[in-house]
Amino acid sequence: ILISLVDAGIMLWVSVRGRRETFTTALLNVLALVIGAVPIALPLVMQVTMAIGAAKMAKKKAIITHLTALQEVASMSILCSDKTGTLTTADMRVLPSKMWTRKGFSKDDILVLAGVASNPANKEDPIDKAVLQSV
């Protein structure tokens, strides 16, 4: 992207000084170049940014197995966590008595939403299994 911006600056200067185009015409041509270059560079920029983020998280002892997982985490609005070791033993249970909800949502609402978000076809997933058993 930086190279595109430098190229755009050079193109603007050459157009105005060397070719004697009006500034407005030259600027429109440069904007067309920059707008065309951004979608081409975007996947590369995203991958590099996610790799840098994964490296920083790894320094803090986070386990990153797929870079696409970073995108999914960034788009989450609710995170359910567990620190008791049941994730590693695959013995999970949903305890409605221990659930906390925000205003406007009951525990039943949350269980129904969790059930809708779960995949009943995935019999091996301990989280889906626990949620579906609690609904």
Tens of pLDDT along 8-51?
A: 889 889 999 988 889 988 888 888 877 777 777 777 777 888 88
> Which helix or strand (DSSP H or E) is residue 108 part of?
helix 107-117
Alpha-carbon distance values, 93 to 81, 97, 127, 130, 132 (Å): 13, 12, 8, 5, 10
59 vs 122, more confident: 59
- 0.85 exceeded by the pTM? no
Identify which of 47, 124, 133, 131 has the alpha carbon closest to the alpha carbon of residue 90. Answer: 124
83 pLDDT exceeds 80?
Answer: no
| Contact present, 87 and 129 (Cβ < 8 Å) | no
Residue 51: its pLDDT value, please?
Answer: 84
Active-site amino acid positions:
82
